[in-house]
Amino acid sequence: MQTDIFFDAVRQTAWAEGMPHQRFVYVPQPVMGKSPQELRAYLDGNDPITGRPVMEEVIEALTKPLTETERQAVRFDRSTPRDAVAESEAALHQLFMDSHWTDYMPIILPTEERVQEMLAGTSRRPDEIVGRLRPTSTREAWQFDVEKVAINAVMAGAKPAYLPVILALAASGVTARGSTTSSAASMAVVNGPIRRSIGMNWGTGALGPYNHANATIGRAYGLLSQNLQGGSVPGHTYLGSQGNNYAYNSLTFAENEERSPWAPFHVRHGYQRYDSTVSCFSGCRATSYLLGLRRDHWQEHVTNLLRGLNPHTPPTLILDPITANLFVERGGFDTPEKLEDWIWEHAKLPASVYWDDQLIQNYVYPRAENGEKPWADYLNAAPDELIPMYRREDVHVLVVGGETNGYWRIMGCNYGRTVLVDDWR
């Protein structure tokens, strides 16, 4: 059973799973929030796709003998041609747009010559396999090589010197074009010497459109994600109800290691200061912000920000160096781990409110039922008992900004992994 809005995605997914004739019955969207009586009316009514009675179709799907077509062997013939050809440059641009290969901003056409120039940015062979990407965990993963990543890097307007970072992003396995109905974007944070050698911005305006490397690496991350995973097409391979403007650049910036009071993010995750890395975060949707940390009530102000986030998506603090130093001064957080501890301890909700959240019902409650900790420990909490909104290991801190003021923000997001850029030079 499915709701009708997902007709195309359902057929496509069933085909890719080897079941092109799988029988489905559809009811109207939405199901969420409807009363039992309203949902019964769906079942007593007609399938919005076929116009036939829903339950008649259900019984028929289970009892009607397989047709000749359903019994036949199917040829799953698909491949990716190396070339894209059109009668003119304008027609080729149109072909890229019509094929859903762009982000609808102008691209650089990836001619053989331009791709060759891009490939000079790495010592890796063009046909070396880089990895696999998929729109979500339940969909098929597509594979790609170095040349395919370089093609997307050209389209984004990147320079060959950026290619190792872009290859590392592609190798992360973390897509920047998740298909989730929640309209999430990704975030990419670069650490180490390559930040400086390719001229990235970690100061004023680092998260904005003010730096060529930040802008085009982030755009390349998005383009390569949608194309190398097999698409990000609304209704088919993208289902985000509202979409997400962060997806244009995937929140790509370098950490301000020079002005941070703490060890850089990558060093806290097992790398050396001289290593160059990129760290991928997903699920970026919610952002809240604050100016500085007031002497008397900073704890309440920060706690209010945390309470404003959805309990399913943990907080990553994105701190201007001014505020990072204020956290050291006000709270005595001489390491970021101490600040993360404090955040985890203060991000709490009454158990009844926590468990009633729709996302917690969908994604956490079933895991708690299966005995997964720490959530299983909270199942018996009294309704008014305050329980942690997040797991401690999911809380993170980053430092970026040019110290024009002490504004800082909390990004609700999930840390995926850190990839060594040096492996892709």
Partner 1 sequence: MGAVRALNPMGYPPDVQQVQMAPRMGTLRGKTVYLVDARFDDSDIFMQQMEAWFRDNRPDINAVYVAKRGIYTQPDPELFARIRDEGAAAVVGVGH
Chain positions 19 to 78 lying near partner 1, rule: CB under 8 A, are 19-23, 27, 29-34, 36, 39-40, 42-44, 55, 58-59, 62-66, 70-71, 73-74, 76, 78
**Quick one: 75 or 295, whose CB is closer to partner 1?**
75
Amino acid at 368: A
Q: Confirm if 181 and 362 have CB atoms less than 8 A apart.
A: no
For residue 327, CA distances in Å to 120, 242, 342, 402 come to 44, 35, 11, 17
Min separation Cβ 302 and partner 1, Å: 30
Question: What kind and span of H or E run contains 264?
Answer: none
Min separation Cβ 338 and partner 1, Å: 33
Min separation Cβ 146 and partner 1, Å: 12
Residues 46, 48, 49, 92: which binds partner 1 (CB under 8 A)? 92
The interface mask with partner 1, positions 107-126, x = CB under 8 A, is: --xxxx--x-----------
Q: What angle do CA 400, 416, 122 make, to 5 degrees?
A: 80
Min separation Cβ 138 and partner 1, Å: 5
Min separation Cβ 148 and partner 1, Å: 6
Nearest-angstrom CA–CA distance, 294 and 326: 9
Nearest-angstrom CA–CA distance, 32 and 137: 22
**Quick one: 101 or 281, whose CB is closer to partner 1?**
101
Asked if 251 interacts with partner 1 (CB under 8 A), we say no
Q: Which residues of 55-86 are buried (b: 16+ CB within 10 A; e: fewer)?
A: eebeeeeeeeeeeeeeeeeeeeeeeeeeeeee
> Which range of residues in 104-112, 267-275, 321-329, 374-382 is near partner 1 by CB under 8 A?
104-112
Q: Confirm if 267 and 337 have CB atoms less than 8 A apart.
A: no
Min separation Cβ 312 and partner 1, Å: 11
| Interface positions, 214-233, toward partner 1 (CB under 8 A) | 223-224, 227-231
The pairing of strands 142-145 and 129-133 is antiparallel
DSSP secondary structure, 40-57, as one string? HHHHHSB-TTT-SBHHHH
**Quick one: 60 or 258, whose CB is closer to partner 1?**
60
Min separation Cβ 299 and partner 1, Å: 34
**Quick one: 62 or 242, whose CB is closer to partner 1?**
62
119's CB contacts (< 8 A; 6+ apart) are 126, 146, 147, 150, 160, 163
For 79, the token pair is 């491949």
**Quick one: 10 or 328, whose CB is closer to partner 1?**
10
Number of residues lying near partner 1 (CB under 8 A): 89
**Quick one: 140 or 393, whose CB is closer to partner 1?**
140
Burial class (CB in 10 A: 0-12, 13-18, 19+), 112: exposed
**DSSP character for 234?**
B
**Quick one: 245 or 370, whose CB is closer to partner 1?**
370
Q: Confirm if 76 and 38 have CB atoms less than 8 A apart.
A: no
Asked if 138 interacts with partner 1 (CB under 8 A), we say yes
Angle between helices 212-228 and 146-156 (to 10 degrees): 130
Asked if 86 interacts with partner 1 (CB under 8 A), we say yes
Nearest-angstrom CA–CA distance, 268 and 328: 17
Residues 5, 161, 328, 386: which binds partner 1 (CB under 8 A)? 5
Min separation Cβ 231 and partner 1, Å: 8
**Quick one: 223 or 247, whose CB is closer to partner 1?**
223
Asked if 91 interacts with partner 1 (CB under 8 A), we say yes
| Interface positions, 339-398, toward partner 1 (CB under 8 A) | 358, 362-363, 366-367, 369-370
Min separation Cβ 364 and partner 1, Å: 8
| Interface positions, 150-209, toward partner 1 (CB under 8 A) | 151-152, 155
| Interface positions, 305-334, toward partner 1 (CB under 8 A) | none
54's CB contacts (< 8 A; 6+ apart) are 25, 26, 27, 42, 43, 44, 45, 46, 47
